[in-house]
């Protein structure tokens, strides 16, 4: 199952309160008020299990992985590879199809650079189908986070390929008629987000993959806003690449992951080069390890990988379907409550697609930073600005918006607090 469904049992209030006890930061006070954290779309909080896993690794196992011959190094290597297996299992792929990166942005760039290295003739015969040049097309969308847009702009500029962009309708939904038109025989790669970090809607990825398959194009899925919130099976979705961001799924900053279909990773030339990714090196050339090590040059972020594994185990222990159901309820409540306020326009509210617990909105006549300031004064943390999605905001006719985003630890009372806080902001600025 890829989308939240109404049939799953959402978390009960008692369960959410028990979950909150695992997150020490949720007891914090901000500006004299209990913290109401509604910025998990930017970065999520970490449970004790994740903090403990990183500390335990550092206090009992820390050593250089895949290098040392001593016992501690072997145990550290096992922990590192167990972490890879945990993340692979969480998203339904094989262990050696997960490449560690420092964040999702690096994972997208890894694919873009590997493709342009193939374009300049690296990677041998197997890389032939990855080569890009004049006449080839890369397709992305107008709703992408800049992380899944700018690397493709640059790849097009480096290779002479053309970048095509699937437009949005007036509500912000992907124009699927245009997607069917733009994805054609020249398309080599389609890069699309699973869940918009601004609209919170779950895109019809299955349909996009089916269209791409018809023309033999590869698909890269930006799963940054779906993997933390929905059950995800990347093999079942049949995408070729996917990118994940550790700090949005209860894990640490400094770690992300790239999923790549095994035969594609095997065909891809490296991105970064140096130590840890080679077999033999002479002064003039080098032979590379198979994936995933081929793409993991230099010393890796081992404690962060171990902590990310603890994060996905924690999420799995609660159940992704139940988390999705909880957030779908909160998201619907958030959109309804905000939409009922005079002058508030929730971006994409009219889109008829499943959604996660995230809403971005514009308040007529009041700048998003002012709304954010009033909320912050009451201890409510939200994100304001363009959320790294300027083309989407431009298309919807706003320069900035305020975004409230929930997670498994968010209560209905907190959603009510945001709605009440926005009502207060409107009242304050209308009277001023």
Binding window for ligand PLP (CB under 6 A); candidates: 79-87, 99-107, 284-292, 368-376: 99-107
Closest CA to 134 of 165, 114, 117, 158: 158
77 counts as binding ligand PLP under rule CB under 6 A:
no
- Which of 148, 304, 405, 411: binder of ligand PLP (CB under 6 A)? 148
Cα–Cα distance, 376 to 36 (Å, whole number)? 9
Only segment of 74-82, 140-148, 297-305, 338-346 that touches ligand PLP (CB under 6 A): 140-148
Classify each residue of 209-233 as buried b or exposed e, where b means 16 or more C-beta atoms within 10 Å of its C-beta.
bebbeeeebbbbbbbbbbbbbbbbe
Question: Taking CB under 6 A as the rule, does residue 327 contact ligand PLP?
Answer: no
> Among candidates 47, 86, 89, 34, which has minimal Cα distance to 408?
47
How many amino acids of this chain bind ligand PLP (CB under 6 A)? 14
How far apart are alpha carbons 334 and 419 in whole angstroms?
7
Q: Which of 334, 406, 383 is nearest to 16 (CA)?
A: 406
Q: Is 304 in the site for ligand PLP (CB under 6 A)?
A: no
193 contributes a contact to ligand PLP by CB under 6 A? yes
Q: Which of 142, 222, 240, 296 binds ligand PLP (CB under 6 A)?
A: 222
Minimum separation from the CB atom of position 388 to ligand PLP (A): 6
Distance, in Å, from the CA atom of 275 to the CA atom of 343, rounded to the nearest integer, reads: 57
Residues, the chain: 432
123 DSSP 8-state letter: S
**Closest listed residue to residue 229, CA positions, set 313, 323, 311, 88:** 323
Q: Tell which one of 187, 203, 225, 405 touches ligand PLP (CB under 6 A).
A: 225
**Residue 104 in the binding site for ligand PLP (CB under 6 A):** yes
| 224 in active site | no
Q: With binding defined as CB under 6 A, does residue 116 bind ligand PLP?
A: no
Going 56 to 58 to 59 to 61, the CA torsion angle's sign is positive
Task: Report in angstroms how near the CB of residue 225 gets to ligand PLP at its nearest.
Answer: 5
Q: State which residue, 144 or 240, has the beta carbon closest to ligand PLP.
A: 144
- Considering only the stretches 2-10, 111-119, 145-153, 233-241, report the one whose residues sit in contact with ligand PLP under the rule CB under 6 A: 145-153
Q: Is 147 in the site for ligand PLP (CB under 6 A)?
A: yes
CB of 428 to ligand PLP, least distance (A): 29
- Select from 228, 231, 256, 357 the one that contacts ligand PLP (CB under 6 A): 256
Stretch that binds ligand PLP, among 170-178, 221-229, 328-336, 394-402 (CB under 6 A): 221-229
Nearest 5°: the CA angle 321, 327, 333 is 140
What DSSP string describes 319-372? -HHHHHHHHHHHHHHHHHHHHTSTTEEETTTT--S-B-SEEEEEETTB-HHHHH
Structure tokens at 383: 């994100």
Among 77, 197, 211, 303, binds ligand PLP (CB under 6 A): 197
| Residue 58 CA to its chain's centroid (Å) | 27
Catalytic hit among 180, 388, 420, 423: 388
Binding to ligand PLP (CB under 6 A) within 371-430 occurs at: 388
Q: Give the residue numbers annotated as catalytic, written as ranges.
A: 388
**Interface ranges with ligand PLP (CB under 6 A):** 103-105, 145, 147-148, 193, 197, 222, 224-225, 245, 256, 388
């Amino acid at each position: 199952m890829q989308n939240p469904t109404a049939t799953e049992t959402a978390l009960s209030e008692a369960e959410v309160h028990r979950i909150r006890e695992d997150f020490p930061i949720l007891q914090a006070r901000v500006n004299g008020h209990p913290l109401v954290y509604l910025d998990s779309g930017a970065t999520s909080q970490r449970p004790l299990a994740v903090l403990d896993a990183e500390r335990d690794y550092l206090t009992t196992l820390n050593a250089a992985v895949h290098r040392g011959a001593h016992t501690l190094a072997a145990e550290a290597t096992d922990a590192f590879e167990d972490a890879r297996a945990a993340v692979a299992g969480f998203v339904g792929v094989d262990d050696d199809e997960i490449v560690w990166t420092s964040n999702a942005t690096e994972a997208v760039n890894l694919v873009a650079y590997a493709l342009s290295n193939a374009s300049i003739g690296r990677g041998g015969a197997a890389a032939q189908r990855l080569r890009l040049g004049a006449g080839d097309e890369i397709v992305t969308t107008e709703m992408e986070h800049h992380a899944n847009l700018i690397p493709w702009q640059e790849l097009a500029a480096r290779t002479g390929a053309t970048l095509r962009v699937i437009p949005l309708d007036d509500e912000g939904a992907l124009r699927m008629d245009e997607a069917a038109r733009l994805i054609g025989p020249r398309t080599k790669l389609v890069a699309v987000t699973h869940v918009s970090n601004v609209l919170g809607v779950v895109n019809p990825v299955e349909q996009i993959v089916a269209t791409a398959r018809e023309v033999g194009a590869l698909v890269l899925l930006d799963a940054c806003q779906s993997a933390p919130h929905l059950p995800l099976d990347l093999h079942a979705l049949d995408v070729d690449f996917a990118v994940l961001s550790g700090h949005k799924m209860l894990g640490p900053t400094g770690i992300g992951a790239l999923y790549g279909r095994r035969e594609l990773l095997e065909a891809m030339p490296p991105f970064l080069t140096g130590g840890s990714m080679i077999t033999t090196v002479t002064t003039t050339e080098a032979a590379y390890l198979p994936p995933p090590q081929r793409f993991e040059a230099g010393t890796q972020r081992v404690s962060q990988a171990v902590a990310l594994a603890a994060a996905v185990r924690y999420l799995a222990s609660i159940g992704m379907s139940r988390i999705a159901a909880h957030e779908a309820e909160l998201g619907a409540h958030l959109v309804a409550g905000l939409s009922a306020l005079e002058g508030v326009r929730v971006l994409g509210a009219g889109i008829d697609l499943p959604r996660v617990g995230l809403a971005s909105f514009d308040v007529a006549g009041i700048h998003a930073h002012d709304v954010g300031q009033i909320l912050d004064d009451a201890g409510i943390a939200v994100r304001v600005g363009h959320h790294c999605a300027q083309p989407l905001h431009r298309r919807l006719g706003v320069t900035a918006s305020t975004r409230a985003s929930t997670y498994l630890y968010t209560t209905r009372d907190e959603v009510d607090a945001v709605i009440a806080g926005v009502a207060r902001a409107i009242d304050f600025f209308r009277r001023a």
